[in-house]
A and B are shown apart, each in its own frame.
Chain A
């Protein structure tokens, strides 16, 4: 029989998370969306509440919790911050902090992780380029070895947290080609500090949502990094990077579930108050059917998200394979953004003309969850992963 209960620690943590969000996050969210930068005070508050090192090895200042606990944090942060900017900062830092923890050299871990955990610096991810997204094998950024250093040239684009790393400090886990003729088997993953790094030139773009975290890119012109910043082995970066992406995708499923469940609660409160044609609009079947359908979908999404993270935990313990993880994660992520944005869209529709104004809180969540059909692996790629696991690798379309 399946036991769906969270552990006692996880339940206590959720209770504490709710209180933390109510006192530290919710009062600040209105001003958050004016800035296009994650305010340092928010990063410090997350660090003080120990959220930035949840799953990291205690040796480097983390708590060493399971991944499901990180999912609880992601879900609750999304319920508190409809712009999903804070959840993005959290899930990116958690996922790529985990990759550094797992594949980083001892020297790099001691240098990078404690500063990220205490909120002095941020950790981001940079694989996308101006015209390269899902097709990582066609990446143009190159890395080469020079003595005890690596030299990097290229560019990255549509990257979260560039301004924060440039201004506060920190860097991005970055992917580049070392052996171009080997495609994805010739790539290296490494940590690239941005602040005060000679040869880094940032550019910025404005996302339509997630307004409190920066989005942009950076040119990389003959940038030197020490060899201890390499993550994993040379030419095996493509495989390491996917472990971070899979964790991030599982957390995104719960961010979407959190944002949508909060919007549905807002919607329920509204349709119980608003009257049209002499009765509360919550009494009309047209509203009720949508409410029921969305509730079922968001609960299903939540189950898929936690199942995915549970599978990830099982793999860490050697009880599940990478393929089990890929399938569970892709299933959750493939529907997350779509189901969440449809649910939030319905809540906006119930609120009539007000729902289409900037005064309506739910529109922030709608613009935010839309990003997750693209971020950390598009919906289409998730479907390809599911099909690959169902049909076998010989049916891969792009091989």
Chain B
């Protein structure tokens, strides 16, 4: 069985601020990290591989040369091989152009059973690349996946998070999953032995020539959308927190709503 995980290196958004004049992210001095949703995806990939045996995990990302460190982390977390898709031609890609590029890389890998993506990246928060990649690959997809079980006949049972709870779904292969970790998720921190092993695993760099494909669909040229402005929304009034037992809290809330004419007394 072949599992593929698509990951992204992102700026640590707990450290990022927006420049109020240029409306761009201030990235100087901000550390880059593996997108936390993708860390969950990788850990699930490795868990399933170890469970079923006779299976390998390839991890890939599209990004600048510095994205190597995010892939190395994935190798240290247990992935078997890494592929960095890197070329100036890919610069400025929106989610659609990114999905197209990733789909070419996956087709070049050849055979696969499941593609894992994080639900979204913490820098853009679009949650579009996974579904668009499934579209480009022509395979089914399940989003908001929290848990996956696979039986000995390769039948998947998937817990998909919904607003009300879970949907329990069954699926056949191949398919694409976008993963959303449960709140209880504790990311692993690879120890030094895993880091040393990672250095000995295959690491490939593929450029635009290696991928082939329609060059007009890469990068800025292949993008339907462009980011015009990034900004922090202005503060909208003060927040008042009501702390009490539910009955008293409801009373206080209704009083405040009446006072502000959001509710009227009958």
Contact = CB atoms under 8 A, between A and B. Distances in A.
Interface of A: 8-9, 11-13, 15-17, 19-20, 23, 49-50, 54, 63, 65, 69
Contact of A49 (B69, B73, B76, B189): B189
Contacts of A9: 192, 195-196, 199
A50 B193 contact: yes
B198 A23 contact: no
B53 interface: no
B73 A15 contact: yes
A34 B95 CA distance: 53
B184 interface: no
A365 to B, nearest CB: 24
14 contacts: A8-B199, A9-B195, A9-B199, A12-B195, A13-B195, A16-B76, A16-B189, A16-B195, A17-B189, A20-B189, A23-B186, A23-B189, A50-B192, A63-B192
B228 to A, nearest CB: 32
A12 B69 contact: yes
Given A9-B196, A9-B199, A50 B191 contact: yes
Contacts of A49: 189, 191
A150 to B, nearest CB: 36
A201 B73 CA distance: 48
Interface residues of B, number: 16
B187 interface: yes
B43 to A, nearest CB: 13
A354 to B, nearest CB: 26
6 tightest Cβ-Cβ pairs between the two chains A and B:
A19-B189, A50-B191, A16-B189, A12-B195, A20-B189, A49-B191
A45 to B, nearest CB: 11
Contacts of A17: 189
Contacts of A19: 187, 189
B192 A8 contact: no
B83 interface: no
B72 interface: yes
B9 to A, nearest CB: 12
A9 B201 CA distance: 13
Nearest to B190: A16
B76 A63 contact: no
Interface in B1-57: none
A264 B69 CA distance: 28
A12 B189 contact: no
Nearest to B189: A19
Contact of A12 (B76, B186, B187): B76
Nearest to A64: B196
A15 B198 CA distance: 15
Interface string B62-97: 000000110011001000000000000000000000
A63 B189 contact: no
B72 A12 contact: yes
Contacts of B190: 12, 16
Nearest to A17: B189
Contact of B73 (A12, A23, A54, A65): A12
A141 B228 CA distance: 77
B235 to A, nearest CB: 19
Nearest to B76: A12
A8 B203 CA distance: 14
Contacts of B193: 50, 63
